[in-house]
């Protein structure tokens, strides 16, 4: 049975941050905990949000790590409870938004966070008691502002997914103006994250034609504009198109992802210093090549359809085009440049096999397949 569900209210435009108070009030938030990180604070974006909430008691947690942890969730949940907060504002990239989703669970549900992880059977334990979230992305990458999932590093070191329709933010404020001037390297890495979402969910075999259409359109927008956005941080049209690609990738990936994400989730747990979007960019070429022979890919001409969206002549051009794009964007040439070593592969493979994205890949990967992909990306 195919479950097709869309999604939340989205305010999308330059200057949409002006609607922050209105959207909070609409969903019943008047005493928010605002979750962000030090980079967003230092860029002045936290103050821009607070200026829209003048007169409200607003608690702030600005210590979200680049890969959010259960410890950070606990600290923020304590602030939430102590401040008698009635909802969350997530301001930042995927890390801040995912951290907020963890807090939405932890502040309203008993027990350790792991109890609610997808691979632990925890999705059904997440209830309507979750704290409401208004999400304001400041990067164009994860699309977590319209997604039902969060990725968090739990206390035992695993990087796990948490999924529930109750975790979808009640409102998303997508203001491309907040991404103007984002550093080139971060623009590139988050932009390739969005492209990876569009590509992986389109390759996933589940039946969801609306998701396929949204993903292909998002891929076309992202592929056509990521270089412009990376090269010129003030290019408003490129920023608008990348924010749309990010949003669309996450709207679509309710259909499922695949080996790119099972590998990047696992490796990100092994080494939390690594950036998720950068890992996705590096894994994409090898995974596309691996998926090329999957029956659903061949029968439905999925690679050819992606190639068309990317403006390429043939499906066989996709892996090389991804390599070339990564190079033009200034991303690392391979995992080795990030300090990853072959001695870590066994742990990465073990985690990838257990990841919630593993079984939604169009071709089921065996341990040796993952090893080959890792070696090809080294």
pLDDT digit string (tens) for the chain, length 378 residues: 565 567 789 999 999 999 999 999 999 999 999 999 999 999 999 999 999 999 999 999 999 998 899 999 999 999 999 999 999 999 999 999 999 999 999 999 999 999 999 999 999 999 999 999 999 999 999 999 999 999 999 999 898 999 999 999 999 999 999 999 899 999 999 999 999 999 999 999 999 999 999 999 999 999 999 999 999 999 999 999 999 999 999 999 889 999 999 999 999 989 999 999 999 999 999 999 999 999 989 889 999 999 999 999 999 999 999 999 999 999 999 999 999 999 999 999 999 999 999 999 999 999 999 999 999 999
pLDDT of residue 7: 76
pLDDT of residue 8: 87
pLDDT of residue 5: 64
Asked if residue 296 lies in contact with residue 360, where contact means CB atoms within 8 angstroms, the answer is no
pLDDT of residue 60: 98
pLDDT of residue 321: 98
With H, G, I as helix, E, B as strand and everything else as coil, classify residue 270: helix
Nearest to 132 by CA among 72, 172, 96: 172
List, in sequence order, the alpha helices (H) in the chain. 20-26, 38-42, 45-51, 70-82, 94-106, 184-203, 209-231, 236-252, 259-270, 276-291, 295-299, 302-309, 318-328, 345-354, 367-377
pLDDT of residue 197: 97
With H, G, I as helix, E, B as strand and everything else as coil, classify residue 95: helix
Cα angle for residues 295, 299, 303 (degrees, 5° grid): 90
Give the integer Cα–Cα distance in Å for 160 and 294.
Answer: 26
Say which DSSP state 363 is in. S
Cβ density class 145-176: b for 16+ within 10 Å, e for less = bbbbbbbbbbeeebbbbbbbebbbbbbbbbbb
pLDDT of residue 89: 98
With H, G, I as helix, E, B as strand and everything else as coil, classify residue 310: coil
């Amino acid at each position: 049975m195919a479950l097709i569900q869309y999604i939340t209210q989205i305010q999308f435009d330059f200057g949409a941050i002006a609607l922050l108070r209105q959207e909070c009030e609409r969903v019943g938030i008047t005493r928010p905990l605002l979750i962000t990180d030090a980079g967003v604070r230092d860029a002045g974006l936290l103050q821009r949000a607070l200026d829209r909430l003048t007169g409200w008691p607003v608690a702030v947690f600005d210590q979200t790590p680049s890969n959010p942890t259960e410890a950070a969730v606990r600290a923020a949940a304590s602030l939430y409870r102590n401040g008698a907060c009635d909802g969350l504002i997530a301001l930042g990239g995927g890390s801040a938004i995912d951290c907020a989703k963890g807090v939405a669970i932890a502040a309203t549900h008993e027990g350790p966070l792991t109890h609610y992880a997808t691979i632990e059977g925890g999705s059904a334990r997440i209830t309507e008691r979750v704290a409401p979230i208004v999400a304001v992305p400041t990067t164009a990458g994860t699309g977590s502002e319209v997604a039902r999932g969060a990725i968090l590093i739990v206390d035992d070191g695993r990087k796990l997914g948490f999924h529930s329709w109750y975790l979808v933010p009640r409102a998303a404020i997508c203001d491309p103006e907040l991404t103007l001037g984002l550093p080139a390297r971060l623009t590139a890495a988050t932009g390739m994250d969005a492209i990876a979402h569009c590509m992986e969910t389109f390759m996933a075999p589940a039946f969801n034609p609306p998701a396929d259409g949204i993903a292909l359109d998002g891929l076309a927008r992202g592929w056509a504009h990521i270089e412009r956005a990376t090269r010129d941080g003030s290019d408003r049209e490129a920023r608008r198109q990348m924010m749309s690609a990010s949003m669309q990738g996450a709207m679509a990936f309710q259909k499922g992802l695949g080996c790119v994400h099972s590998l990047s989730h696992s490796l990100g747990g092994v080494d939390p210093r690594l950036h998720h979007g950068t890992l996705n960019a590096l894994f994409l070429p090898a995974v596309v090549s691996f998926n090329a022979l999957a029956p659903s890919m061949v029968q439905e001409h999925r690679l050819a359809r992606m190639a068309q969206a990317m403006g390429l002549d043939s499906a066989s051009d996709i892996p090389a085009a991804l390599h070339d794009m990564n190079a033009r964007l200034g991303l690392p040439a391979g995992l080795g440049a990030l300090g990853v070593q072959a001695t870590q592969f066994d742990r990465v493979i073990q985690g990838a096999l257990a990841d919630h994205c593993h079984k939604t890949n169009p071709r089921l990967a065996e341990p040796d397949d993952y090893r080959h992909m890792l070696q090809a990306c080294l």
